[in-house]
Each structure stands twice: as C-alpha cells, then as structure tokens.
Amino acid sequence: MNSLSILRSGPSIARALGLIKASNSIPHNTAFSFSPRPLECRRALSSVKATNDEEAAARVTAVDADTGAPTIFDKIIAKEIPSSIVYEDDKVLAFRDISPQAPVHVLIIPKFRDGLTQLGKAEQRHGEVLGHLLYAAKLVAEKEGIVDGFRVVINSGPSACQSVYHLHLHVLGGRQMKWPPG
C-alpha cells in the first residue's frame, strides 16, 4: 500500500498507521541517530523500514476486511476515481497498478465482490468468477505482449501483505522475474 492509497482509503487507516509508525519509531538513543553509516547500510535500513511499513499497513487494513466497507477498488469500478483500464467485461475489470512493480503490472478484480474480500474467503460458489479472473489474466498478458512469460500473484491476508480487501490478481511481466518471491 502506498501513501496515496492510504490517504484515499480514509482517515481511520491513515490515523491508525500514524499510531503504528509512532510506536515502531526508533528511539533517539540508538546508534542510528548519531552514527553516520555507509550508503549501502543506510539503503538496507530504509528497505527494512519500508518492509515493516508494508506489514504494519497490511495488519491495519485487515482489521476492516470483512465489514463490507467499500474499498478504493469500488470507486475505480464506479469510475469515481480514474484508472488506466486495460481490459473489461461484464464480470471483471483490469487496470494498471498505481505503484507498478514491473514494466507491466495490472490488477484484475471481480466487479461484484460478493464476499471475496480475499482468496482465503472463497467458497465453492465463487469457482466460476475465480476461473474467469485467471482467464482474464491470460487475456491481459496477451494484450500487453507478455504472454510468453508473466506472473500472477494473489496476496491473501495480512501475512501476505494484502492491502486492499477486494480480491485482486496482480499480473506482472516485462522483466525477468525472480524466484523465490519475498
């Protein structure tokens, strides 16, 4: 979750994150505040902080996951906020991620959430739309010219750093992917 989406998600999440960040902040008497460190070391520290922020954000958003509250993706479906749409049919919408992690990074969501806040909440009745989402991923990969090699990711729940509780597939490609993922 980036800062833009946190702000868009509403003041409660932003406030809660502020609290979490405050409670996680590094005490002033640690070595970090007065000991200059090599650039690589400072980079490593900032990447650890970013990771911790992602995890903290995921825990905060998970609290409201099943209240049925609208998410930022409902506003995208309703075209209340703009998005760069790549593919759309009556069941799914595919649009570019606001914070791309690869040259191609497209999100595919069901238009009707129907309880699918995350994959971990899937029930048998969702089988058709889940299959359709995967097929749409292949159509998006074809459209984006990456059908020969692409990755589909679903983050489900706070341990996977899910940040928006409306089921979505990430379609990633356009560069060499690494394995194992982080």
* E runs forming strands in the chain: 85-88, 92-96, 104-110, 150-153, 169-173
Site string for ligand 5GP, 87-126 (x = CB under 6 A): --------xxxxx-------x-------------------
* Among 16, 53, 56, 83, interactor with ligand 5GP by CB under 6 A: 83
Would you call 168 a catalytic residue per the annotation? yes
The residue range among 31-39, 45-53, 109-117, 159-167 that interacts with ligand 5GP, by the rule CB under 6 A, is 159-167
Secondary structure (H, E, C), 99-127? CCCCCEEEEEEECCCCCCCCHHHCCHHHH
Cα R_g (the chain), whole angstroms: 18
Binding status of residue 143 toward ligand 5GP by CB under 6 A: no
* Among 2, 126, 130, 132, interactor with ligand 5GP by CB under 6 A: 2
Closest CA to 152 of 140, 161, 162, 165: 140
Check 105, 166, 168, 170 and give the catalytic one: 168
Q: What is the dihedral of CA 69, 70, 73, 78, to 10 degrees?
A: 160
The residue range among 39-47, 122-130, 161-169, 171-179 that interacts with ligand 5GP, by the rule CB under 6 A, is 161-169
| Shortest Cβ 108–ligand 5GP spacing (Å) | 11
The residues facing 171 across adjacent strands are 106, 152
Binding status of residue 5 toward ligand 5GP by CB under 6 A: yes
- Of 87 and 95, the one with the shorter C-beta distance to ligand 5GP is 95
Binding status of residue 146 toward ligand 5GP by CB under 6 A: no
Cα-based angle 82, 84, 88 (whole degrees, multiple of 5): 105
**Under 8 Å between Cβ of 46 and 35:** no
Q: Which residue ranges make up the site for ligand 5GP (CB under 6 A)?
A: 1-2, 5, 8, 72, 83, 95-99, 107, 155, 161-164
The catalytic site residues sit at 168
